[in-house]
Amino acid sequence: MRNIILAILYLNFLFPINAFSQETVQAKVDTLSYTYYMSLVQEQVGKKASDWKLKDTDGKEIALSDYSGKLILLEFWGVGCGACIIAAKDVCLIDSLYKTKGLAVIGIEGEGRNSLDKIKKFKQDYGFNYLTLVGGKETARKYGVRAFPTFFLIDKSGKIIYSHLGYFYGNKKDELLELIEKNI
């Protein structure tokens, strides 16, 4: 029996069956993970946003309640996250378009394991010019965040009205912009 199993494994190594190739299996795992993580994030829509207090990159304490009555785009991101780098351009654009109209864009470094210098360098290297808060690992967990970037749009009453996992692809950016326009 042992020899048969070894022979099958050897043949599979030489002639991989496409349905069980490493790439196919990884793609299915990635899809299942994304679906699960997205469901955690979607559960937040319609709920009141949990309050938090975190420090910005200058050490000033900031609370969500400081932005009471404002529309807030909240982004959880991580240092070295490729999708976060891609999303940063869109987030910076959204910040520049709507900051003067009353939108507050807040980025939260959600890993909680990076030095302040590393976070500042990452922000500078990739053009994160909006408010960034640090040490947000527990805050990210409270919001159901398990992957980066993850976005929440919080309306003026403090209710989460939109969530999205990943950078903005397809019509996702348009969907967010429409909600911002509607709620500003």
**pLDDT score at 3:** 60
CB-CB contact of 182 with 153 (8 Å): no
Strand 103-109 and strand 131-134: the pairing is parallel
Domains and CATH numbers, the chain: 19-183 (3.40.30.10)
Lowest mean pLDDT among 4-13, 119-128, 151-160: 4-13
Mean per-residue pLDDT of the chain:
86
Q: What is the pTM of this model?
A: 0.81
User: What span, in angstroms and rounded, lies between the C-alpha atoms of 109 and 99?
Assistant: 20
Order of strands across the sheet that contains 53-56: 61-63, 53-56, 131-134, 103-109, 71-77, 150-154, 160-165
What is the tens place of the pLDDT at every residue in 20-64?
555 544 454 456 567 777 777 888 999 999 999 999 999 999 999
**pLDDT score at 145:** 94
The number of beta carbons lying within 10 Å of the beta carbon of residue 74 is 25
